[in-house]
Amino acid sequence: MSEAATGTDRLRPRLAVRFGITGHRPPRLAFEHHEAAREECRRIFSEAQGLLEAIRDRHADLFSGEEPLVRLVTALASGADTVAAEAALEQGIALSACLPFLPEEYAKDFSPEEWRAAQQLTEAADGTLALADHRHGDEAGYEGIGRLVLAQSDILIAIWDGEPARGRGGTTEVVSEAIARHIPVIHINPDGSHEPILLWSGLHEEVPDRPSIDGVERVELSRALPGLIEALCGPPEGEEDAALRTFLRGDVLKNRTSLAWPLLLFVTGGRSWKRTYFRSPGPTEARQYFTPLIEPFAALGRFGSRLNGALADRFARADAAANAAALQFRSSFVTNFGLAAMAVLLALASLLAPEAKVWFIVAELVVIGLIIANTRRAHRCNFHQLWIDRRHLAERLRLLAISATLGRLSLRDVEDGTTHPGWETWYARATARELELPQGDLDRAYLEKVRGSVLSLIEDQIGYHERNAHMMEHVNHRLHRAGDVLFVGTILFCLVYLASKFAGPGPIEIAGVGLTQIVTMATAFFPAFAAALYGIRMQGDFAATAERSSAIARRLGKLQVAVRSDTLTYDRLVDRIRRLSEIMLSDIHQWQQQYETRPISLPG
């Protein structure tokens, strides 16, 4: 695929919102209440569709040309699940079905007539996924499918009488977990005794860390739904909106070449000449690197097509942009400190050639001008922020590609109750909303395939962090050693000068230049050059970066051993992927804290 294929049209997400459903089965949900609950669901879906269309009309340039999508994710249990599914199909809403057991096991939950109705709904769904770890009647299966519905949902509809739970995986338990995860819950009372109510931590003035079912704010849905859909799906505003548009335009990719950072790595022995590249990899190379991770799932219908299509394109853009911004940022500060040392050298050079002092001053002014221009360019382009934001997005998309194969979109897992996330979080969530469920049974053969991709990603990341730790440690050691040599050299020049004054026969000249001038130049330039190397070490934070990469490689190594030795089950694999996400995203957050406080500045 050419780089042109990753243009804006392929990168703009489809506007979508995903509903999950939980609720009672008969007789707790009486048959005579079905139609009232079905009508409430129809109304919610219809209003959500209209609200999405309004958002799309206001921000048409940020979304793809596809129609806005409302999707319902349901376990198709008799009662609330099927009522909501029927309402969705009547409204033309996309339907995804996820089953707690293999179909032949799940059928035992239904009467023959109910199972035929459930099968008709699965046939109408555009994706059906079935867990295979549990047998009929195992409460862990219902509990697991409840969590899967939450992981697929922006909003949970609960057809619920408000009474306490009566078993694992029941409606009350699912509602409690949704609220704790900051997932908005629309409470529909089965008997129609009150209007639907929205329960959501985002209604609090200050969002609690872990809200509870008893303490969460409530408001009538009719007043809250427009604001809720806007908060979840509307694009970011202000500076975040500008950053999103910059990413879609690909501005940072226009300049992917720089000399200073690659030369520093080569000169200090961090990289060999064969591995020294002055141009960062582009989207084509990034996509080729990403493809082996997702290619095993390409045959999974529309899910596989989106995974290997839009998601891969967006990762490629983010990864290439992060690499380009990192190269520009690092080269900018290396250039600044290098030019600062050169300015000192030019100022001192007139001691050796007084007749050329004017030209040395002119050259020094040019160098200072270059430092100022380089600093202003770095500030204007904001390379350090571009680097961190795009790296954050790339890692979010890479992890999404893995977790989505198990149906885990986790649309509310990051940044908890934040109603106005950063643009990269918004974009990753928008990409996740487009994904269908992977089609088929999550049996051992499928889980082995997922585990293979997880292990490949872990191995790749271990290799990267081990190489990065070695390179950064090596560069830091060489820069530190060079600084020491320069200060020792300064001391030696001072001693030579003192010795010549107290023990020498008279004035000493070397190539027609007096020793006094040579010593003055050396004892001024060597410390200045050492200070420039120290500045590069501090700005680059090589030692801390090496230590952090070593620590992450060790943590990933332990996770790798655990994944290989685990008894292969869906829940265990989900937990391992969650742990992998925590490790990789914690690295990004540490980088963010490190570099946001180290913008490019004038050497001083």
pLDDT-derived band at 165 (thresholds 50, 70, 90) equals: low
Is pLDDT at 415 greater than 70 in this prediction?
no
d(CA 343, CA 357): 13
Nearest-5° Cα angle at 447, 441 to 449? 110
pLDDT-derived band at 526 (thresholds 50, 70, 90) equals: very high
pLDDT tens digits, one per residue of 49-58: 999 999 999 9
Mean model confidence pLDDT for the chain? 89
Comparing 442-451, 514-523, 567-576, the range with the smallest average pLDDT is 514-523
Closest C-alpha to 142, from 81, 188, 217, 93: 81
From 3.40.50.450, 3.30.110.40, 3.30.565.10, 3.30.70.660, which CATH number describes the 3-233 domain? 3.40.50.450
Sequence letter at residue 304:
G
pLDDT tens digits, one per residue of 97-156: 999 999 999 999 999 999 999 999 999 999 899 999 999 888 889 999 999 999 999 999
Is pLDDT at 4 greater than 80 in this prediction?
no
pLDDT tens digits, one per residue of 355-403: 899 999 999 999 999 999 999 998 888 888 889 899 999 999 999 999 9
pLDDT of residue 512: 56
Nearest-5° Cα angle at 519, 518 to 525? 90
Partners of residue 188 on adjacent β-strands: 159
Token pair of 226, please? Answer: 């427009």
Token pair of 541, please? Answer: 């934070």
pLDDT-derived band at 596 (thresholds 50, 70, 90) equals: low
pLDDT-derived band at 546 (thresholds 50, 70, 90) equals: very high
pTM score, whole prediction: 0.91
Domain boundaries, the chain: 3-233, 239-406+443-596
Q: What percent of the chain has pLDDT over 90?
A: 71
pLDDT-derived band at 416 (thresholds 50, 70, 90) equals: very low
